[in-house]
Structure 1
Amino acid sequence: MDILQDHLARTRASGGVFARSVVQPPWGLRLPGTIQLSLHTVVQGRAWIWLDDPRAAMEVVPGDLCLIRGGPEHHVAHTPDPAACQPHEEFLRRHPSDERSDDRAATVFLCGAYRFAGDVGRSLIDALPPTLLLHAAAHDPLHDVIGFLSRELGAPAAGHQTVLDRLLDVLLVMAMRAAYDQSPTAPRWYRAGGDPRLGPALHAIHAQAEHPWTVPELASLSGMSRPAFARNFERSLGQAPMQYLTDWRMTLARDHLRGEELTLDQIARRTGYTSPNAFAAAFRRHHGVPPGHWRQEELSSDPSRR
């Protein structure tokens, strides 16, 4: 059980946009903070990326990958100058696509955007730093994926969109893995999942949330005594095992409720409760309202469903 893969699958993570730009200075692009996760890389030349303070701009050179978490606007430009940055629509009008340009003085850069659904998706995004610059050495697989993306965008052929979607998926997983490895804000489950003492129990919880797990059973999976397991689990995850299990079940329940595809009885069974009443009681203890009421409020507040 790969917990990161499980989270990405549950969030229905999907690439929204990936574009290749070939531009001559002066140029600059301003992107909205509504993009949940942006990915930027330079194929030729160099670019500067920053949020609200150009003095903190990061220089991006070929092979680098920059991740930007949603929130404030961010800027990509030939120099750290906010005055040079235009909204996306104006940027496209002023810099029409010239994907086959062979001008060595031009800057060639790629911009991607990713969307994540539900609370599982939000937890992945929230665990990332606001900005992260990854440097890929020539032998790094990340470097190879970036080069492949650039070639595909520059010379599209049959099946072009499918290739881009798959490459963006690969880039996303490699980037998030590198980000979590480097970041002190990485999710606790990411680090604990690789711990041979806790990994088996943690993987079991995520793989089978519907199973009626007990602390002795989870301790047995990890090859520890019950007290030692409980102590190590709480130290690493910040919660007792049963509280972690309940929180994970409630996270899954919220995402199922938003989806509308499952009945309350089906959600109860998928999240480890013996009946809709038992599920409703647990949900109400956790959220203060019954699941049906929570679902109605959530759906009515979502403008995309109107």
Structure 2
Amino acid sequence: MKNIIKTTFVNSHNKLRNGWWIAIFIVFVAMTRPIYKPLKLLLDDFGIHANILELLSAALILFVTYLCVRLRKETMGSVGLDIDSNWMQQFGLGLGAGLIMVFGLAATVWLGGGVNFEYNFKLDVSFLLLSFYLFAIGAFFEELLHRGFLFQRLIGGIGFWPAQLMIASLFAVGHLSNPGMEGVSQIIGAVNLFVSSLVFGLAYYKTRSLALPIGLHLGWNWSMGSLLGINVSGHENAGVLISQISDMPSWFTGGEFGLEGSVLAIGVECVALFLLWHWTGTHCSSNASDKIVLKAA
């Protein structure tokens, strides 16, 4: 009986099982939710600028991650936040790849008559910098939540692809209430979000770093919203260009949800997934169990 109780909590290496670490992480995240609004109001009363307050959600999830990492007697590098020159290179690679993916997608829809663009003379460089900052916060928050400690403990517990499918499902479901998520766009948009989560997850797995997925996420959202002026996951954005979606079928244009609601976006994400799968990556783990998880999952 004693052995059964012990093995319920610890593994063969006498370490707390991944499932319990996941539970601890979820409890910590749940504890931050009731304090978010009061803390934000308090900081606002102290005169903290609204743009700085946008950091609060990301700061809280970062703090929870830090607590869990320290409890495991590890560093933040263990979750892919060992920020150095290599990290920044991977971030830049992801940022560039995200830009290329979006411009390729938008160009295809434009050539097919699904969207028209005109220059927005009202915007300046300061807008681009601010929007980059805001989209960067969103990308950091979502990737740390979905590809950080929780995802990594899932990989350790159930294997890479089962963890991928679980997180991708949660990622897609979490966006179902977004504006423009209706009819055909809801189905296509959900599938696209599911596949994009697989891309971000594989980007982490190939590098053991959050730099590449954060860069990809930011490059995709910022270029689509702030450069092309297209709705990002249903949310309207001012951009360097003003986009006008045609009355062609929404399965082609994405409709009010934006290009992420187009079947072409799924194609772009699948190409990215294929290329990532065949990419050797920048991290070669000497841990045999890592290779077994990817092969067997």
Q: TM-score, normalization: structure 2?
A: 0.23
* Bigger fraction of residues in strand: 1
The structure whose Rg is larger is 1
Q: TM-score, normalization: structure 1?
A: 0.22
* Bigger fraction of residues in helix: 2
